[in-house]
């Protein structure tokens, strides 16, 4: 998707100036504390780091919340200190930031569960929904219907001179950022698409109506995603 966002650029600049004026110190660190990048019957996996102290290990707290009752059924902790080659290869500190916790799903019983993780009080991105037993993974979420979904990355072909910046001033993050038509999906909305919870924080000239553009780090991933028609759920 080629995106031209001249009008939103002005608004985005204002937001960004406000943002950095009000929160000068740890804004960027706060945006990338880590991510949950796997959740299945065996375990929940991801990584977390403190970018201002890359040699330290973060303690990660994973919370499992029953979406129907709203009660937290599990709080699991893990040290984010496993070596991950993908992190080291992309230049994220030492790469020793991986975590993995096994989950006693059967002891929680049938239900649809929200999987969230925190490190140093900051929420990691990539929140998941996991269904146990007869519950579909979408239980408890409100369907917004079918959307056309496409993918984009920071490259020139996808984002022009915008790179990783979004129209709301946030830095685009994989497994987190989506581009929407703000008349259909207001900025700040959280949507579950394919088991991942995203936040609407970007727009684009090619994104109109029931169309969502999903941010990826690389153009290879963008091409692999292609165009998919998929049911989208609003996270309340
Ligand atoms: Zn691209």
Which CATH number characterizes residue 79's domain? Answer: 2.60.40
Backbone angles phi, psi at 151, to 5 degrees: -135, 150
For residue 232, report the distance from its CA to the centre of ligand 1, in Å. Answer: 23
pLDDT tier for residue 8 given thresholds of 50, 70 and 90: low
Indicate the burial class of 227 (C-beta count within 10 angstroms; 0-12, 13-18, 19 or more).
exposed
For residue 157, report the distance from its CA to the centre of ligand 1, in Å. Answer: 5
Q: Are residues 118 and 95 in the same domain?
A: yes
What pLDDT, on the 0 to 100 scale, is given for residue 30? 41
Q: Are residues 10 and 39 in the same domain?
A: no
Q: Are residues 147 and 226 in the same domain?
A: yes
For residue 14, report the distance from its CA to the centre of ligand 1, in Å. Answer: 26
Cα–Cα distance for residue pair 121/180, rounded to 1 Å:
29
Say if residue 7's pLDDT is above 60.
Answer: no
Domain endpoint, select from 124, 158, 181: 124
Domain endpoint, select from 124, 150, 184: 124
For residue 151, report the distance from its CA to the centre of ligand 1, in Å. Answer: 8
For residue 5, report the distance from its CA to the centre of ligand 1, in Å. Answer: 16
For residue 83, report the distance from its CA to the centre of ligand 1, in Å. Answer: 29
Q: Are residues 210 and 152 in the same domain?
A: yes
Q: Which domain holds residue 66?
A: 35-124
Report if residue 183 sits inside a domain. yes
CB burial readout 165-199, b (16+ within 10 A) else e:
bbbbbbbbbbbbbbbbbbebbebebbbbbebbbbb
What pLDDT, on the 0 to 100 scale, is given for residue 135? 66
Placement of tokens 């990539």 in the chain = 126
What pLDDT, on the 0 to 100 scale, is given for residue 139? 47
Q: What is the pLDDT of residues 159-194, one digit of tens each?
A: 999 999 999 999 999 999 999 999 999 999 999 887
For residue 27, report the distance from its CA to the centre of ligand 1, in Å. Answer: 26
Q: Are residues 114 and 50 in the same domain?
A: yes
Report if residue 226 sits inside a domain. yes
More confident residue, 220 or 141: 220
Report the predicted TM-score, pTM, of the whole model to 2 decimal places.
0.53
Q: Are residues 112 and 146 in the same domain?
A: no
Domain endpoint, select from 100, 124, 148: 124
Q: Are residues 105 and 148 in the same domain?
A: no
For residue 158, report the distance from its CA to the centre of ligand 1, in Å. Answer: 4
For residue 199, report the distance from its CA to the centre of ligand 1, in Å. Answer: 20
The CA-based angle 212-151-65, given to 5 degrees, is 65
- Residue pair 174/215 in contact (Cβ under 8 Å)? The answer is yes
Question: How many C-beta atoms surround the C-beta of residue 98 within 10 A?
Answer: 23
Indicate the burial class of 200 (C-beta count within 10 angstroms; 0-12, 13-18, 19 or more).
buried
Say if residue 12's pLDDT is above 60.
Answer: no
Q: What is the pLDDT of residues 186-236, one digit of tens each?
A: 999 999 887 788 999 999 989 999 999 999 999 999 999 999 998 888 886
């Amino acid at each position: 998707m080629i995106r031209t966002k001249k009008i939103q650029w002005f608004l985005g600049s204002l937001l960004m100036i406000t943002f950095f004026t009000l929160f000068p110190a740890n804004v960027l660190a706060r945006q990338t504390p880590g991510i949950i990048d796997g959740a299945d019957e065996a375990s929940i996996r991801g990584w977390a780091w403190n970018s201002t102290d890359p040699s330290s290990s973060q303690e990660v707290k994973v919370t499992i919340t029953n979406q129907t009752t709203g009660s937290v059924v599990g709080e699991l902790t893990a040290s984010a200190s496993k070596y991950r080659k993908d992190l080291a290869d992309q230049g994220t500190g030492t790469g020793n930031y991986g975590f993995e916790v096994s989950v006693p799903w059967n002891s929680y019983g049938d239900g649809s569960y929200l999987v969230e993780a925190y490190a140093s009080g900051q929420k990691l991105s990539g929140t998941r929904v996991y269904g146990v037993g007869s519950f579909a993974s979408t239980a408890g979420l409100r369907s917004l219907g079918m959307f056309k979904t496409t993918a984009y990355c920071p490259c020139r072909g996808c984002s022009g001179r915008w790179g990783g910046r979004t129209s709301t001033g946030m830095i685009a993050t994989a497994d987190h950022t989506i581009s929407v038509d703000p008349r259909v999906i207001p900025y700040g909305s959280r949507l579950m698409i394919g088991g991942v919870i995203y936040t609407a924080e970007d727009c684009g000239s090619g994104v109109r109506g029931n169309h969502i553009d999903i941010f990826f780090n690389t153009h290879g991933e963008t091409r692999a995603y292609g165009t998919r028609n998929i049911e989208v759920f609003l996270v309340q």
